[in-house]
Structure 1
Amino acid sequence: MKWFEGSVADAISSAQQKRCLFIVFAADEQPASVSTQESWDSDAVGSVASSSVALKVTPGSDSYTQFTQIYPVTIVPTSYMISPLSGGPLEVVQGTASTDELLAKLQSAQEKLTSAGSAMAANTAGAAPAQASAAATAPAPQTASGAAASTTPAAQQPSNEDKIAKARELIAMKRQQRQEEEKQKDLDSELSRRESGKKLQEYKAQQKSREASDRRKEMQREKDEADRAREEIRRKIAEDKAARRQKQSGSAAASASSEPVSATAAAAAAPSVARPPSLPSDMARIQFRFPDGSSLTEDFSSTTQLSVARQFVADRVSDRFPNGFSLCTTYPRQELTFEVDDQTLQELQLSPRSAVLVLPKTTGKQRRGGSGAGAATALSPDSGVWKIIMIPLLLLQAIWQWLTGSAASSSSPSTPAPSGSQAASQPMPQASSSGDAAEARQRRGRGPETGSSFGVSKEGRVNRFKPNDGGDEDDDMGTWNGNSTQQQ
């Protein structure tokens, strides 16, 4: 394809002079434009359009802007085949076009152009004889009228303005037709879009249905596998139980065929599962625990007296405890003395099971020390005997303190007599000298003896130093709280 090199106006003028087809191809660099460009450049299309004026415009160029002002381009690529006579488009190809499609459009446009040219030639030929006959029949006028008659045929020919108006009408008609075609195309595309959307929704629904079906199948498969695994485990458990029962029955038959052993050895060698889970209600199982950590278990009747259990322990641990032993319960801790030997194990709450501690007895020296400790405990400050002894002594101490306090200072209150366990815990009062009494008065906050330069006045629990000579009253602000700490 040979493309015209020049502006749109030059291309239109060339097509009008040659009275050939005017082709305009709007294209960009996209694959659709490249494919259509290859179709235009093919030999078949080039041979058919060799007599036409072909112009290629690209978006953004001046030629494209000038062309779109008259012929709007909505889709790129677009091919226009325009008539040079009327200026209207004969064929329009939008989008990608193949070689065959372009050939068909070119042939259709050339046929339309040929028919339009023939019609215009016929109209021109019919108008010429009519003008000639009118000129022959008309009488010869004067010179002025002859001049007017000579100008009549020229006036009857269509002027350029009429041609332009007609071309504009044709362009408006084609534009309206193109707009209707675009509306129809938009409607078709909208229907196609809705149809494709409907198909897409149907496809998604089918896909969801397939996924749900696959999930159900997968869950069923996992459930079947879990059931099979559970059945396999149950089968193995049943086989293990059967093998265990067979082994136990074989060991029982072997033990029955062997020599009988003693009852004690048989009871020790019997498996723990052979023992009954609980003792009869009339039996008592006692575990005797020793200081070294060992233990001894024996079953007695619940009506058995404690002396029988004590004798049972004595027969087996006489070499361990040469000084004797004593029995004690674990919790609550209580010694089982000889006084309760005539009581039964059930009465002592040692049935059906219990643990008893076997402890060695202390020596005579330890027992004597224990009796002395008991005497000291009897004479402890909390005992009643000690309180009875201390009551008169406390009364005497209170009287003595009152007398010594009155003699020393009339303003000093007497010390109240202690009561209860505090009085009992105080030591016996001893006679003291006058110096000791003064020290005691100083400790009690009564101040020094007469002759000292300071005195003490007490208000509640606060002691105040006050000079005896009536010094500055500001010294009353100095206080002493009895703990040698200064208060401001």
Structure 2
Amino acid sequence: MGQNDLTNEMDKVWNDPEVVNLCNNGGCVAIKMAANSNDCAHFSQIYPVVVVPSTYFIGVNGAPIEVTAGHKDTPDFIQVLKNVLKLHNDQLGTAQSNLPTGGAQPGPSTDPKANTEDKPPLEERVQKVKEKLEQKKAEKERLEKEKEKQEEAERRKLGRDLQKLKEFQKEREMKETVDQLKKEKAEEKRQRDKIKEQIARDREERAARFKKETEKQQQAQEEKKQAQLAARQKQSSEEEAKKMETARIQVRLPDGTSLLNSFPSSDTLQCVHSVVSQHVGSDVTLSTVYPKRTFTTDDLSQTLLSLNLAPSAVLIAVPGKPSVISKQGNNGGGILALFFAPFLFLWNMIRVFLFGDKRSSQPKREDTPDATETPDESQSTRRRDRPQTAYQRRPISRGDGNVRRLADMRDDDDENATWNGNSTQQM
């Protein structure tokens, strides 16, 4: 026994009244030795003591019947004690049954004659004595071997018990270590979960703040965009309205040349018709290619804006008076004029090449007052409506006072077609 808590607990079990009664009734002799005493040292030389406290149940032959290591509860120890007493009683019963039983033994013969006659020869007696000695020797050797086997079995059993005890201690230590590791891991996991929760809360708060700030920024940007869009729309509307105030009209003449002039969009088509008729020297019929339309006398009283000729348009002039009835869709005269226009252009080119341009020697016709513009207004209108990619053109008209003279645009046919969206090259 030692001085630890397990020894104190086991001492209570040993002194339990039921345990004491079982030991007294079973004929047990209890010996208690301290772990650091000489008696325990001598005892350990025969029966190794590994764990303190330990209980050894030793039989009458000196072999341990049972060994308990460490602390055991009272009910468990009582059950072990009962099993040991049962094994001890079984060993005692087996030993008594092996003792020789007493009986009637034949005594020596009183008849000398009979003894003389029955007495065997000396050699036989010597031989029998030798045989008996051999038998005793063999029996002794057999008993010694059995004893050695029994001792070997007891030593093996004791070794197994000690091995079990060591394994039990090792398992208990491992279990304690595993429990401690589990406890530490659980504590670490709890701390990690706590930190993760805090991080998640911080992340949510940051995300909420970022979302709120982002929404504010987006709202401010959206308001700014809406304001810019409204300003651009207003500016575009103003520019579009300003553009719609003037109509740039390009007229393809029957001889292949073209005229370009600007008119207020509130002017009627009659103004354009008058300018073109004066330039050609005869009445003409005006039409558009896309959308395909031939203007009649009823259309001459309408404004350029209502006829969708603002801010720019391309008209084709065909010799002949405009028809009274408005015809849209398929127009036979317009188709024929478009068909013969290239031939007329070639004929005019040949005529000019062979006979010269007679119009160059004739004085220029004057424009009507409605179609005139001041030089500054004409130049500013052309600069505003001309795309940045357009080439620099010669002035369309020359002015002397309030009189406007149209210029010949024969050399600028291809140039005009590069920027005007209603060009005849789209046919």
TM range (shorter): 0.3 to 0.5
| Higher-RCO chain (CA-CA 8 Å, sequence separation at least 6) | 2
- TM-score, structure 1 as length reference: 0.33
- TM-score, structure 2 as length reference: 0.37
